[in-house]
Every structure is written in C-alpha cells, then in structure tokens.
Structure 1
Amino acid sequence: DGKHSGIPDDRWVFTSRSSAVNYGSIAALSAAARAIREYNPKLATEALKRAELAWEEEQSHPPFLFHHGNTTGGRLNAEKLTAAAELLMTTESEHYKQAINTLWPEVEAHFAQHIGT
C-alpha cells in the first residue's frame, strides 16, 4: 500500500540523537579498524577516520542525553570511556590517553563494569 510491505518485519528503524549511542559507534568503528587493518587496509582507514571524526564532533557540543530503554546506549561516561579505550588501542594517541585519565573516576565508581575495557 506504499507504507507497508505486508511482510511482518517491515524493517523497523529506530532513530534518536544520543551521545551514548554515538560513543558506542565510535568504539565499534575503532575496533573494526584494528581488526581488519591487515585484511582490508582501505576500509580500516575509512573506519578509523569516521571514528575519529565522530569523536571530535561529540567533543564540540554538550552531550545529547536522550535515553530510552536499551535503545540509546548505556551511561554516557561508560560509553565514552569504551570509545576512548578503543581509539587508544587503535591509534596509541596521547589525546585518547588524556580522555581516559579524565574519565578515570568512572572506572573507579563502576570498576566491575569496566574491568574488561
């Protein structure tokens, strides 16, 4: 009918503007860049470039704190810490070491959650 396919799954899409979700994406892109570096260097470079651009964009404004259920990421500082750690492992940049140092109280407050990171 132009609005529904008639197939039960209709390919739902949920959109929101959430800094926590963005940091989750940054972490995933950075980890992917590291994982495929040898296999597909061009794609790895693009993934890392997008992760770093997204990181810088997130730093350029106050965080968007929209949160709803499990669709918008975890606690902001937890997601930011994971993104910084993945970027550090991928780039070894002092910039991300400083971000982790700034976020260290998050680690201390929720150590069990962050032990893997």
Structure 2
Amino acid sequence: MFVAPAGAFFVGYLGDVPVAMGGWRSRPDVPRLGGSSSAEIKRMYVARAGRRMGLARALLAHLERTAAESGADTMVLETGVAQPEAIALYESAGYEPVEKFGHYARSPLSRCFGKRL
C-alpha cells in the first residue's frame, strides 16, 4: 500500500535510533474536501525518545509535501479519541473533522480529519 507512486513510507532517526515513522497511501474512496485526489496518512508515530522535538510536525509536513508532489490535493487521516495529543497536532496543522470512512465509519472511538493540500 505504500509503493510509489500510490504511496510512501518514511522512518526518521536520531543518530542511529529510529524514532519516527509514517506513511501515506492514495485513497480515491474517501472524502476529498472538494479536491480530486485524496491520500490517507497511515501509521504515523513518534517514539517517546523523539517526542517534544518537533518531529511529529516535521513528519506531518513531509507526508503532506510528498503526497502533494505525487498528485494528491487532499489529505485525510483517522485517529482515536484516546490520542488527544495527535488530535491537537492535526487541528493545529489545519485539519478539520470529516465524515468517518472505511473501517472507521462505525467506530465510536475514531475521529477522522481532512485538509486541502
């Protein structure tokens, strides 16, 4: 699902230690927020050793940029109600709530967000 040009996956390191990861994949079946091509963020995570260093924000910007370079004009994602820090990050980066999609459509613990790139 992360094979170019329909997706990409990245790992960030501090020295030799992997501390951040995330990817995106094309999703023609999800909300497009008025655009024509959507990508979905998947598996974004920053390990405790890499937190509070701006890595999550840098990784998010990188995912957005690389998805846009591959033709996506909308980014969507799912996160859970138990991840308030993630929700705060996405909202501060301009993401807004969108209709739940895919596996998450009926989950009361999921929150879906989207942003025009």
- Category of TM-score, reference length = shorter chain: 0.3 to 0.5
| Structure whose residues are more often strand by fraction | 2
With the length of structure 1 as denominator, give the TM-score of the two structures: 0.38
Larger radius of gyration: 1
Q: Which protein, 1 or 2, shows the higher relative CO under an 8 Å CA cutoff with sep ≥ 6? A: 1
